[in-house]
Structure 1
């Protein structure tokens, strides 16, 4: 009988071998087992999280390992011993130069001594792990900026779409339904039957009660046809023209203002008149207006004085750059007056202080 020859292996797995991840998991599980045994023997104390007080002592992701535990000298020594045993058992070396140590609620001296004991660097909070700032305030917008900038465009569009559906979807399950579908007559009296897609929040209960109180004031007629009616048109049917007139009604009424009619009669280039119209209507993109439109503005102060907010009245009439121009203009017209700060009132004020003649012609260019 001949004993079979034993094969001896002299090389490990090649880079990119499909078995490499499994080997990495086997080795990492050994470190996880050492931590569990240390916790079991009360040599290492983890960190309890959640209402159920689940103890977390170690987290492993890919080739990264994070130890969690109580900030104590005993835990620091336990981590040192666990890593030393892991090196002996696996023949691997821990790269302490790329490792870091941090703690909350401890003095800088204690954290520095602990980092020196572990032969690693001292972490400064917040630090970035997997692209997420750790230790930062999650309520601050600046914390999420680096994460949002890395989101692909398609993913961003999908998130925006889901957000819009959630925000504009409302809590009602009966949107775009007629009154006939929202209730029924019982004993010759109308009874509403409203349904919500989820339980109402505390702040929504009051709104829902007020809504029910408002609709109960209306009498539902059994013999009248239930249909949608567009009140902006006499026919009751929706038309683009009626919607346009409804949306621009206030603007049309504003254009009939004598002051605005005077603006269009001035002999100035059309782009100047349009700019003046936007100024009188407070439609210019000043910092204050941009902030009102939910545009992020770092500093709303005026770039000239640095004290007041940059709004149209201040920017064009009271800054150190614009105020002398108005005084020179009034001197040229040979008048004196206290000019309003509001752009529209400022414009109309010129028509009231000028009686006519040469001064009026000068003002009208």
Structure 2
């Protein structure tokens, strides 16, 4: 206690004993309890954290540093979010808006089908290959009777000389509605036209050649959102010849988001004057700065 009193007198800082802990190393617990009672603080136990660093753990192990690394990641993520450029923000906005494609009537997730070659990389029940939905979703009742739901197409279906052979693996006998579902599935399988390809591949059913490109997807979105209105199209489509930072700047001008003095004054920012510092002929507005100032 004398040492703590000396520290208070020298540093001018008061020690809060109610928030302090006392630890014992190489002594019995009774002595630690007795000392904590005399000092007026609580007994601490290992392991504990001091200034964000774990104390009492083996810091040679990577997992013991995970809490510290997570705190740094959170701090860095917040810092990066605040310091990201307008171009980066535009990219983030576009990535978020891309998830809204289905609201335009384009079911992107259901627009890909597996094309069967050897059937070695396509799951019979879980991958979409026979129709837009997976067979697990289309014949849900029937899939419950499957022994292995991750079974491959080649393990259930074989094509040879234009004929098809089906090998099933059920965990019980089928009857009633399950048998009806199997009959419907067999009809679909018999109508399937297998491509002459050595391996399985993906195909995009919104393109004639089955190849997905961003240009084609952008064209579909433009057809839905813009249509054939040429005048509106000229206002909406971006010009690839204009740099992104110029597009962002023009957008900020149109939205009155340029920090001219009048805008800063509207937001309560203390400035010495709202007059234009370049010409001192008028107050500094966005229109004055863009069209009337003479340098």
Query: Would you say same fold, with TM above 0.5?
Result: no
Rg comparison, structure with higher value = 1
Larger relative contact order (CA 8 Å, sep ≥ 6): 2
Q: What TM-score bracket applies, with the shorter chain setting the length?
A: under 0.3
Q: Compute the TM-score of the two structures, normalised by the length of structure 2.
A: 0.24
Q: Compute the TM-score of the two structures, normalised by the length of structure 1.
A: 0.21
